[in-house]
Amino acid sequence: MSLQEAPAIWGAMRARHGQDTATAPGFARMISTCLDNGVDWVDHADIYDDGAVEALHGQALQHLTASERGRLRVISKCGVRFASPGQPGVRLHHYRSDAAWLHQQVDASLARLGVEQIDLYLLHRPDYLMQVEETAGALADLIESGKIAACGVSNFSVHQVDAVTESGRVHPIANQVEVSPFHADALDNGQLDQARRRAMVLLAWSPLGGSRLFVGDDAASRRLRTCLEAMRTRYSGAPGIDSLVLAWLRRMGVTPILGTASIERLQRQVSELAAIEMDVQDWYEILEAARGIRVP
Ligand SMILES: NC(=O)c1ccc[n+]([C@@H]2O[C@H](COP(=O)([O-])OP(=O)(O)OC[C@H]3O[C@@H](n4cnc5c(N)ncnc54)[C@H](OP(=O)(O)O)[C@@H]3O)[C@@H](O)[C@H]2O)c1
């Protein structure tokens, strides 16, 4: 399934901390569940647990059938560096986007993931020192060599996406940004409009606010929960409040990256998401509940 058609993506960032997904057989069961439910894409990054999540993916592949491995699509990212035992010599958080770094990180991710090609490779964060020609050229070379099938960006502003695209070397097919009712900047800062205009996929990280939806004790979280609890009874089968938020994202054409490490939860979220046709007034009600103000 193409990225454009994907109803959702599974994000593996928390996989090693989840009961279901911390081992290779468990991770493989999650992947099988994703594939059975139409979620063919899994999101990684070189920094997730210093590469250990990608390595877990690689180990899990041997527990999948050849047909499952053939259908699975992988996203990974590079560019973020932070002080950790897995990044020797790094003394402070910073970003890198030079060609040598990209080539090195793609090779390392391919080896850990146990795949010959990464289906979508993202620049994880905008590097203020980025030399656009060099970085875009490196991405083009990686596509040419077959190590990556396509490229995109993450947390890039509209102007930063324009800079990469207008280099003429590559066409980023996705921008992965934080989007949820709690964090809806993309609706007004041009990222959503740009994705539509350029036929890019806007991928939403932390679609549920990274669990704030359930545990947040702030006013916006409480208002949103109250709103969603009342709303769910208006939908057939009374879906979970999480699925309503995912449907809110889908309603505007944004693709959520599901962060759960629970197989049962992922299965429920995906099947409920498929069944929800979100009413336009409900969509605005969710926005207003999170913002705490009415739209003008
Ligand atoms: N590009 C970037 O800069 C960037 C940054 C952050 C993340 N990401 C990507 O985005 C993905 C998703 O981000 P996220 O993990 O923050 O997403 P999220 O879906 O907003 O949050 C996931 C968290 O919510 C909990 N949760 C989900 N459903 C729940 C429910 N019904 N009840 C209680 N808790 C529930 C999960 O716990 P359980 O596991 O127990 O369900 C997990 O701790 C990541 O995996 C990563 O791939 C990208």
Is there an atom of ligand 1 within 6 Å of 268 CB?
no
Residue 285, pLDDT above cutoff 90: yes
Mention every residue, 6+ apart, whose C-beta is less than 8 A from residue 88.
none
* Residue nearest (by alpha carbon) to ligand 1 atom 44: 11
212 alpha carbon – ligand 1 mean position (Å): 10
* Among candidate residues 256, 260, 266, the one with its CA nearest the CA of residue 202: 256
Question: Binning pLDDT at 50, 70 and 90, where does residue 215 land?
Answer: very high
Answer yes or no: is 222 within a domain.
no
Which residue minimizes the CA distance to atom 36 of ligand 1? 260
Question: Is any atom of ligand 1 closer than 6 Å to the C-beta of 76?
Answer: no
Q: Is residue 82 part of a domain?
A: yes
Q: Is residue 236 part of a domain?
A: no
Protein residue with its CA nearest to atom 4 in ligand 1: 205
Does a structural domain hold residue 278? Answer: no
User: Ligand 1 within 6 A of 30 CB?
Assistant: no
The alpha carbon of 37 and the centre of ligand 1 are apart by a number of angstroms equal to 18
Range of the domain at 202: 9-215+255-260
76-80: average pLDDT? 98
Q: Is 142 a member of any domain?
A: yes
Q: How many whole angstroms from 101 Cα to the centroid of ligand 1?
A: 28
User: Does 228 fall in a domain?
Assistant: no
Does residue 86 carry a pLDDT above 90? no
Ligand 1: which residue has its CA nearest to atom 28? 260
Is 91 contained in some domain?
A: yes
- The stretch 244-255 carries a mean pLDDT of 98
92, 83 Cβ separation under 8 angstroms: yes
Question: How many whole angstroms from 166 Cα to the centroid of ligand 1?
Answer: 33
Which pLDDT belongs to residue 85?
Answer: 84
38 lines ligand 1 (CB under 6 A): no
Helix 280-291 × helix 241-251 angle, to 10°: 110
pLDDT digits (tens, 9 = 90+) for 152-189: 999 999 999 999 999 999 999 999 999 999 999 999 99
The pLDDT of residue 100 is 98
Residues annotated as part of the active site: 48
pLDDT recorded at residue 214:
98
Question: Helix count (H) and strand count (E) of the chain?
Answer: 13, 10
Assess if residue 61 is contained within a domain: yes
Position 88 confidence tier, pLDDT thresholds 50, 70, 90:
confident
Q: What is the CATH number of the domain that holds 119?
A: 3.20.20.100
Domain count, the chain: 1
